[in-house]
Amino acid sequence: MFNRNYKEKMIESVLFSVSALTVVILFLICLFLFRNSLFLFNDFSLLDFLTGRFWYPTSVNRQFGLLPLFFGSLIVTVGAILFSVPLGIASAIYISEIAHPKVADFLKPFIEILAGIPSVVFGFFGLVVLVPFVQKTFNLPTGQTALTGSIMLGIMALPTIITISEDAISSVPSTIKQGSLALGATRWQTIYKVIIPAALSGISAAVMLGVGRAIGETMTLMMITGNTAIIPSFPGGFLESVRTMTATIALEMGEVPQGSDHFYALFAVGSVLFIITFLINLIADSIKKKYRFKVD
Amino acid sequence: MGLSSKTSEKIAFSLLTLATLTVASFVLVILVYIILNGYGAISIEFLTEMPRRMMTQGGIYPAIVGTMYLIIGSMVAALPIGVIAAIYLNEYAGENRTTWLVEMAINNLAGTPSVVFGLFGLALFVKYFGFGPSILSASLTLALLILPVIIRSTKEALLTVPNEYRESSLALGVSKWQTIRYVVLPAAIPGIVTGSILSIGRVAGETAPILFTGAAYFLPRLPDSIYSQFMALPYHLFVLATAGTNIAKTRPIQYGTALVLLLIVLGLNLIAVLIRRHYRNKLKI
């Protein structure tokens, strides 16, 4: 009997150690990103990095200013969200409240296909279809603009927003819904006055995760936004070429000598990106916890 | 206001329907476009030959092989760890600070951008461990990326195993571990397989994490060890579509590569969905 208990305890601690590995990995990511970033700040001030308006990593008077890259990511993400949030929430409402269950059963996996398409394929599609389209429509010298990136990114964020919003809407207890209908409200009044408010925190979590997905996207944007590191104007910047934080890392890491300031600067950009997505996830997580309904 | 509640309901429902149709048409347009343009390029030679003439002719065989190696490498690393972590979280962990910390770590790993994993892989595997740019470094980097996917899907699969299974086994005097090993885990296998297939699709499609950890622009021969560099389908597509002087000339190969990639990833997703459907109702008591 003692033997058996001992063995069970052993197994449990082995299992625990393996799952603790996830925490170790997260810790190591922080450690390696931040440590490599710190080497930059031996030669270049942190303040100049965070508030610098110019990213000239290879010129004689080199500048590692984050702002053009940060605002590049920001404008593309804002555009993507403006486009995908209304569309995504509307689809989620349609699928969970209006569509015939059989139609919904088809639509859900069909839209999920978007989540499976590799980002490089989205980038390729954007490059051969959307870029020429944007160029012609707006009569621009190049179709590789923030707008192009926003549209493609919006499409990529749709499955995240739809799936999680749909979850939130479906988890609203049907008793609440029936109560509203019984009082004589129409289905639409029930949806926007009862169901949507009740599912609001879940929907916000969906939007946050969509933002996280958009801000971290690399390949698609690198292929279709033109990659010019200039602080974009707003809203005119949508028709100009921009360079995001992610694209900067992916484009330049292959070319830089390892151990140079430029190399460490890319790690610093990566750290900023990591901190931003970390915070977004944390917020989404705490919102999500709130929306769990307690039905007696 | 002017509109009756019936009319406004009609307008609202039409708009919602229109939005959903728009989303569905995005899916349809992308799929149809890639398929129509790509299928002409695909042939047995395209799938089994090396690239020729600066990649303007020939096939994509080494890229397919490279992607296969990445799938095997990353699954070998991530699957056991992911499944074990999920077992611990679902069967053993209590509601305390440690569990919260582990869950938080998993959520954040899932949300970390893939290019950041690429940076980390470069710093840890390529440089610190000295694996160099190689299949090993890239596979381990991708393993980190899919770890949360495997943990989540396994946890979900374990959750659907009815408690009666556990209680009956424990009541017969079987120990907790044996119950998990011989009763709970076999019942959860379909869910674990589904999660693994989705992860394979992810590995096949990811580009950013392998950019600095071992993907090569062009290699004249296949990799001969886990320390070799490699070609991979998504990177191949990226390189052909954006770099070099022959972008227009290689267009058919680009479409072909995009279609092969799409078919692999969507084929895997379809299998996963079918497995999930098939087993969804089997466990109910």
Distance separating alpha carbons of residues A82 and B226, to the nearest angstrom = 45
Band the pLDDT of B37: cuts 50, 70, 90: very high
Task: Report the residue of chain B nearest A4, measured CA to CA.
Answer: B175
The H or E element containing residue B52 is strand B51-52
Answer whether A76's CB lies under 8 Å from A245's CB. no
Q: Beta-carbon neighbour count of residue B21 at 10 Å? A: 13
Evaluate whether residue B72 is within a structural domain.
yes
Query: How many CB pairs (< 8 A) connect A and B?
Result: 245
Q: Average pLDDT of B195-205?
A: 92
* B241 contacts A124? CB cut-off 8 A: yes
> What is the CA angle A99-A101-A107, rounded to 5?
65
Burial class (CB in 10 A: 0-12, 13-18, 19+), A47: exposed
Query: Touching check for B265 and chain A: CB below 8 Å?
Result: yes
Predicted pLDDT of residue B224: 87
Q: Which of residues 51-70 of B touch A (CB under 8 A)?
A: none
Consecutive H or E run containing A42: helix A2-43
Contacts of A5 (CB under 8 A, 6+ apart): none
pLDDT surpassing 90 at residue B38: yes
Q: In this complex, which of B30, B87, B113 lies closest to A277 when CB atoms are compared? A: B113
Residues of B in contact with A4 (CB under 8 A): 175
B88: nearest CB among A18, A223, A280:
A18
In single-letter form, the type of residue at position A258 comes to Q
Q: What would the mean pLDDT of B190-200 be, rounded to a whole number?
A: 90
- Residue B200 in any domain: the answer is yes
- Domain assignment present for residue B201? The answer is yes
Global confidence as pTM: 0.92
In a 10 Å sphere around its CB, with 0-12 CB exposed, 13-18 middle and 19+ buried, how is residue A61 labelled? Answer: exposed
DSSP state of B130: -
Say yes or no for a CB contact (<8 Å) between A267 and B208. Answer: no
Domain residues for the domain of B131 are: 64-280
Rounded to the nearest 10°, the torsion over CA B86, B90, B96, B102 is: 10
Crossing angle (nearest 10°) for helices A101-116 and A146-170? 140
pLDDT at B283: 57
Residues of chain A with pLDDT under 50: 294-296
Tell which residue, A201, A261, A208, A252, has the closest CA to residue A61. Answer: A261
How far, CA to CA in Å, does A46 sit from each of A39, A50, A53, A63, A76?
11, 6, 13, 12, 25
Strands (E) across chain A are located at 55-56, 63-64
Q: How far apart are CA A192 and CA A172, in angstroms?
A: 13
Residue B7 in any domain: the answer is no
Distance of alpha carbon B166 from alpha carbon B174, whole angstroms:
10
B7 to A89, A97, A181, B20: CA distances (angstroms):
21, 18, 17, 20
Helices (H) and strands (E) in chain A, counts: 13, 2
pLDDT for residue B2: 61
CB interface of B with A, residues 149-168, below 8 Å: 151
β-strand pairing of A63-64 with A55-56:
antiparallel
Cα four-point dihedral sign B238, B242, B245, B249 = positive
Mean pLDDT, residues B182-191: 91
Looking at residue A296, its pLDDT comes to 33
pLDDT at position B277 is 80
Q: In whole angstroms, give the CA distance from residue A145 to residue A263.
A: 27
In a domain, B138, yes or no: yes
Q: Which candidate in B107, B115, B146 is best for mutational testing of the A interface (most A CBs within 10 A)?
A: B115
CATH domain A55-291 topology? MetI-like fold (1.10.3720)
pLDDT at B282: 64
Residues B242-274: pLDDT tens digits?
Answer: 886 778 888 889 999 999 999 999 999 888 888
Task: Please give the span between the terminal C-alpha atoms of chain B, in angstroms, as a whole number.
Answer: 53
Extract the tokens encoding A103.
Answer: 């139609």
The rounded distance, in Å, linking the Cα atoms of A263 and A252 is 8
What pLDDT, on a 0 to 100 scale, did the predictor assign at position A293? 54
Q: What's the confidence (pLDDT) of residue A255? A: 85
Give the pLDDT band of residue B75 (cuts 50, 70, 90).
Answer: very high
Residue A30, judged by CB atoms within 10 A of its CB (0-12, 13-18, 19+), counts as: middle
Total domains present in chain B: 1
For residue B108, the domain's CATH number is 1.10.3720.10
Q: What is the pLDDT of residue A294?
A: 44
Domains of chain A, residue spans: 55-291
